[in-house]
Amino acid sequence: LSELEALMERMKRLQEDKEDEEASQEEMATRFEKEKKESLLVISGGICAFPVPLSFDDEIVSTDVSRYIEDPGFGYKDFARRGEDHLPTFRAQDYTWENHGFSLVNRLYSDIGHLLDEKFRMVYNLTYNTMATHEDVDTTTLRRALFNYVHCMYGIRYDDYDYGEVNQLLERSLKVYIKTVTCYPERTTKRMYDSYWRQFKHSEKVHVNLLLMEARMQAELLYALRAITRHLT
């Protein structure tokens, strides 16, 4: 099977398995913890920790971004240290964007919550119902896996989501690309972009980038707004 056909087959099989039997809460929690720990190993200082089909690290360009920032040391850091047995988890049902963050940010800055919510929903729901040359395809499962994987990298867990889907739908080279774009965008190369989903259209791969950026922004907002809520209460 081609990469595309294999991905569509996995999506179909996941949907059938979901209809036949749902995983228990304990199983889903275990799968999340496994995915969360593995996400810490995807990239270390821009070098792939996983064996991937292509070697990306030799293409990373040292971009001088110091002219654009005041603090050269400011950048992404993993939310936990590698090797820790108990990594912190942000349980989404305890503080969600829809039920908590949205109303708080509107209080702090009138109407900004509506604008952000519209932006999140538009990007998340955007679809032409296509996958490369295939039409009338429901891509909901794939879009949710991309969005939730970014939140997983930030330690955010949704109790109603089976993170086994992430591992089945997102191959390792794509995970490397996701973490690089999300956490180290200045290190992203064209070769990395070209290496995954080779049969997909550019518009579909650009949509992936939009999903990653909005997922990261929402994750950052959730942490910040939860901290503000705790301070106010």
Task: Tell me the per-residue pLDDT of 11-64, one tens digit each, with 9 for 90 and over.
Answer: 999 988 877 777 888 999 999 999 988 888 886 434 443 333 333 344 444 556
Angstrom distance (rounded) from CA 178 to CA 3: 18
Dist CA 2 CA 21 (whole Å): 28
Element (H, E) at 90: strand 90-91
* CA 228/CA 104 separation, integer angstroms: 9
Close Cβ partners of 178 (under 8 Å, ≥ 6 residues apart):
146, 149, 150, 153, 170, 212
Confidence of residue 109 (pLDDT cuts 50, 70, 90): very high
* Residue keyed to tokens 């965008």: 185
Is residue 65 assigned to a domain? no
pLDDT score for 55: 36
Residue written as token pair 């989903």 = 197
Average pLDDT over residues 98-116: 94
Q: Which two tokens stand for residue 225?
A: 């707004």
pLDDT computed for residue 85 by the predictor:
67
Report the sign of the C-alpha dihedral through residues 180, 182, 183, 184, in that order. Answer: positive
Within-domain flag for 197: yes
Q: In total, how many domains does the chain have? A: 1
Domain containing residue 170? 3-52+75-232
63 domain-assigned: no
C-alpha span between 67 and 18 (Å, rounded): 50
More confident residue, 152 or 58: 152
Contact present, 81 and 27 (Cβ < 8 Å): no
pTM of the model: 0.85
Query: Could you tell me if residue 125 is inside a domain?
Result: yes
- Structural domain contains residue 59: no
Q: Tell me the β-bridge partners of 169.
A: none
Which two tokens mark 169? 């739908």
- In a domain, residue 66? The reply is no
**Position 62 in a domain:** no
Has residue 58 been placed in a domain? no
User: pLDDT by residue (tens digit) across 54-96?
Assistant: 333 444 445 566 677 777 677 777 766 666 667 789 999 999 9
